[in-house]
Amino acid sequence: MTMIPNLKIDPQRLWDTLMETAKIGGTPKGGIRRLTLTDEDKRVRDWFRAQCEALGCVVTVDEVGTMFARRAGKDPKAAPIAFGSHLDTQPTGGKFDGTLGVLAGLELLRTLNDLDYRTNAPLELVNWTNEEGSRFAPAMLASGVFAGAFTREHAYSRKDRDGVSFGEALDAIGYRGTEPAGKRRFAGLFELHIEQGPILEKEAKMVGVVTGVQGMRWYEVTVTGQDAHTGATPMYLRKNALLGAARMIDAIDAIAHAHAPDAVGTVGLIENKPNSRNVIPGEVFFTVDLRHPSEATLDVMEREFRAALERCLTPLGLTFSEVRIWTSPAVAFAPELIACVREGAAAAGFTTRDMVSGAGHDAAYLARVTPTTMIFVPCAGGVSHNEAESTSFDECAAGAQTLLEAVLAYDRRLSA
């Protein structure tokens, strides 16, 4: 019976690495602004590559910029066990969303090197490009290409609000790799992530055993009215696109409440034109984000949303265009990997709670092509996508230790 040495990650090293990389795109309020494929993203990618190569890993970049750091296993022919997340952030992101999953993976590799422990399967630490979908919609774009949900050309064509395409931005930072996205195969993938919601903290549980991800749909709406003078145009003559958008924002909120408690609906991005204080807005662009664990309920919410467009906008003399740009169906994760997370959390001595992810993650797409699951740890007040996002030293350590134990448990299962 081979004795498994007492493999413990180094919590201080993990924390110091989190704080060190948080400076790359760090904001005065203590968050991170590291939009995908910007210079800040390049800097953290270069740093990540150097750290992995210093551990003896071979780093490969695929054609949509995703980075894979491979650590050899005893059996070079075995399919690798993958783990990781994303290093890109929201414009006012926190220190832990995505970053924890990548850096805990780096800590896992560092620990195995320190103890000269060799897994049977090779290991691959992954940094997925454009998980956030903030600069280039939709979210999880690169993992979606990897899983066959999008073509490479679709990804390259996506433009940010300044008209820069994903492909141009990828070339601008020198991260358009040559490996076809999705070519490589995994034995399984674990993603550690902060919960980004309030449940674990409220129930005082350390580890979330994530059984799946809810369904998500994104839409883009353009409302067209007529620019006109705010002083000389009587109320009855107006075609105020911003008024129409305001009514839609309220209608979308009402639709989500009507399907509570599991539904959510949000207008997060709005552009008002010409955005001048004495011009009645003639055009407004806004985004819609609808989510629910059930596809059937999402279908109902989508119908109600589209009915609201007619109901709210037509009486105001407005016209509109609406397009669904993304749908990510609800996902169930792999029972065998979920079992490894349970085993890992138990081995590490942490309390757990099963849950479905409200946020989208690259794991949702990876589940289409390889056995996949996630591990959650709490974040203060459930707050995320906010510069005040906060996960404690102990919670980060618990997530990383559980990730290590789960990966080793899976490696033992595969080589049994």
Task: List CB contacts of 41: < 8 A, sequence separation 6 or more.
Answer: 25, 34, 35, 87, 88, 173
Least CB distance to ligand HGY at residue 102 (A): 15
Can residue 138 be called a binding residue for ligand HGY (CB under 6 A)? Answer: no
Q: State which of residues 18, 57, 123, 139 lies at the interface with ligand HGY (CB under 6 A).
A: 139
Q: Is 133 in the site for Mn ion (CB under 5 A)?
A: no
Rounded Cα–Cα distance for residues 32 and 95 (Å) = 6
In 259-369, alpha helices (H):
295-313, 335-348, 362-366
Q: With contacts defined by CB under 6 A, how many residues of the chain interact with ligand HGY? A: 6
Of Mn ion, ligand HGY, none, which one does residue 360 interact with (CB within 5 to 8 Å by kind)?
ligand HGY
411 touches ligand HGY (CB under 6 A): no
Nearest to 108 by CA among 192, 1, 207, 196: 192
* Stretch of 26-34, 113-121, 127-135, 244-252 contacting ligand HGY, by CB under 6 A: 127-135
Residue closer to ligand HGY (CB basis): 131 or 160: 131
| Contacts of 318 by beta carbon, 8 Å cutoff, 6+ apart | 223, 224, 225, 239, 240, 241, 244
Residue 359 touching ligand HGY (CB under 6 A): yes
Contacts (CB under 6 A) with ligand HGY, residues 360-379: 360
How many CB atoms within 10 Å of residue 228? 17
Strands (E) located in 36-80:
58-61, 67-71
How far is Cα 321 from Cα 286, in angstroms, rounded to an integer? 11
Does 98 help bind Mn ion (rule: CB under 5 A)?
yes
CB atoms within 10 A of CB 392: 14
Q: Is 409 in a helix, a strand, or coil?
A: helix
* Least Cβ distance, residue 131 to ligand HGY (angstroms): 6
In 238-334, which ranges are continuous DSSP H helix?
241-258, 295-313
Residue 192 found at the interface with ligand HGY (CB under 6 A): no
Q: Which stretch binds ligand HGY (CB under 6 A): 129-137, 160-168, 243-251, 405-413?
A: 129-137
C-alpha 156/C-alpha 172 separation (Å) is 13
- Residue of the chain from 41, 124, 131, 389 that contacts ligand HGY (CB under 6 A): 131
Stretch of 17-25, 126-134, 158-166, 332-340 lying at the interface with ligand HGY (CB under 6 A): 126-134
In the list ligand HGY, Mn ion, none, the entry touching 98 (Cβ below 5 to 8 angstroms by class) is: Mn ion
Reading the block at residue 302, the tokens are 């989508």
Phi-psi region of 133 (alpha: psi -120 to 50; beta: other; left: phi over 0): left
- Sole window of 50-58, 131-139, 167-175, 176-184 interacting with ligand HGY (rule: CB under 6 A): 131-139
Nearest-approach distance from CB 5 to ligand HGY, in angstroms: 36
Q: Please, which residue, 158 or 361, has the CB nearer to Mn ion? A: 361
d(C-alpha 60, C-alpha 49), whole Å: 9
- In DSSP terms, 188 is beta-bridged to 81
Is 97 a binding residue for Mn ion by CB under 5 A? The answer is: yes
Residue 139 touches which of ligand HGY, Mn ion, none (Cβ within 5-8 Å per kind): ligand HGY
Asked whether the CA dihedral 182, 184, 187, 191 is positive or negative, the reply is negative
Site membership for ligand HGY, residue 101 (CB under 6 A): no
- Contact partner at residue 133 from ligand HGY, Mn ion, none, CB < 5 to 8 Å by partner kind: ligand HGY
Q: Considering CB distances under 5 to 8 angstroms, the limit depending on partner class, which of Mn ion, ligand HGY, none binds residue 65? A: none
By the criterion CB under 5 A, which residues form the site for Mn ion?
97-98
Q: Which residues bind ligand HGY (CB under 6 A)?
A: 131-133, 139, 359-360
